[in-house]
Amino acid sequence: MSDNPYQAPQSSRGGLTLGEQPLVFAQTPQQRNAGPTGLGGWLIVIAIKLVMSVIVNFMVLRTQHIPAFSNGVWEQITTPGSGLYDPLLGPVFLYEAIGNGVFLAASLALLAMYFMKTPSFPRWMIVLLVGNVAFLGLDVYLTMQIPHLRDGAMGGVRQVIGACVAVLIWVPYLLVSKRVRNTFGRTPPPVPRREPHWETRADEPATP
């Protein structure tokens, strides 16, 4: 016989298990709606996208923009009378070089924020995605103003379309995903513990 007459009777049937692991069910609405957390799921694709952005921008700078200042290309595109000269070509070249450098640095910074689970990562990732569309769109527009580069601008148009598709996919994901919210959400401050306060009524004698 149990020493505690008020203890609920124990069921003879054990708890539910999956293999050898016991099944634990959510007890509150907060637990049921919590969703996944951690740098997994579709967040891995975003990390891969950032790594590819670092590699591509670095290679473009290393193989195209930086050598142009030492191999004579810069002089050819900025010297009136040369076969490659156009008033817009020099500014467009600088625009692309600076833009690639900025996106290289931004992608590196976002990778650090990603692995550090910085709360502002989703917001800055959205800025990068939208900024990429604006950068590529303006680049294509300026390139199409240069007659001998106009025919090759279709490759840039495809890049703009791809960047727009990325915005349509990843911006909603970063805004509504439970995994993103749980992984990069700010941890609420702990609720201060209130110690019980006992008051002695005026008509009651104080306890010695």
Written as six digits, the tokens of 75 are: 């002089």
d(CA 86, CA 79): 8
State the DSSP string of 154-203: HHHHHHHHHHHHHHHHHHHHHHH-HHHHHHHSPPPPPPPPPPP-----TT
Q: How confident is the model at residue 150 (pLDDT cuts 50, 70, 90)?
A: confident
Q: Cβ neighbours of residue 127 under 8 Å, at least 6 residues apart?
A: none
Written as six digits, the tokens of 198 are: 């006992």
Give the pLDDT confidence score for residue 92 in this predicted structure. 93
| pLDDT of residue 159 exceeding 90 | yes
Confidence (pTM): 0.71
pLDDT in tens, 76-125: 998 888 888 889 999 999 999 999 999 999 999 999 999 999 999 999 99
- Count Cβ neighbours within 10 Å for each residue of 168-183 and write b for 16 or more, e otherwise: eebeebbeebebbeeb
State the DSSP string of 47-63: HHHHHHHHHHHHHHIII
State which H helix or E strand residue 119 sits in: none
Local structure of 207: helix, strand or coil: coil
Q: How confident is the model at residue 133 (pLDDT cuts 50, 70, 90)?
A: very high
Give the pLDDT confidence score for residue 98 in this predicted structure. 96
Token pair 């009777």 in the structure block, residue: 9
Residues above pLDDT 90, as percent of the chain: 53
Question: What is the arithmetic mean of pLDDT over 141-161?
Answer: 87
Helix 121-143, helix 89-116: angle, nearest 10: 160
pLDDT in tens, 167-194: 999 999 999 999 999 999 865 455 556 6
* Domains in the chain: boundaries: 43-181
